[in-house]
Amino acid sequence: MALKERLGTVVSDKMDKTVVVAVVNRFPHPIYQKTVSRTTRYKAHDEENTCRVGDRVRITETRPVSRSKRWSVAEVLSHSFKAEEEASK
């Protein structure tokens, strides 16, 4: 069985060991053919609390960790400029 993967942006890191990842899905409208964007927000498990707001991450489907967490952060693809700036202080 192949695990589902999504690429998204971290929009919240306020919780302990949890981040909210926004995944944008773009597709053509079935009638008008205009590109439509639909955003889905996933709560993902972040064991080391390494993710910050603005980071690009890859999340993978996993067993339920809590009532709302069914995804985990597989890797951080790129850190946001703001997060790098705060780390250097």
Cβ distance 12 to 21 under 8 Å? no
Task: Please tell me which residue, 67 or 86, carries the higher pLDDT value.
Answer: 67
Residue 66 pLDDT more than 70? yes
Residue 46 falls in which region: left (phi positive, over 0), alpha (psi -120 to 50) or beta? beta
What CATH number has the domain bearing residue 11? Answer: 2.40.50.140
Look at residue 4 in the predicted model and tell me its pLDDT. Answer: 95
What does the alpha-carbon distance between residue 27 and residue 18 come to, in Å, rounded to a whole number?
A: 29
Q: Look up the pTM and report it.
A: 0.87
pLDDT surpassing 90 at residue 88: no
Sorted by sequence, the CB contacts under 8 Å of residue 41 that are 6+ apart come out as: 11, 20, 21, 22, 23
Print the domain residue range for 24: 5-88
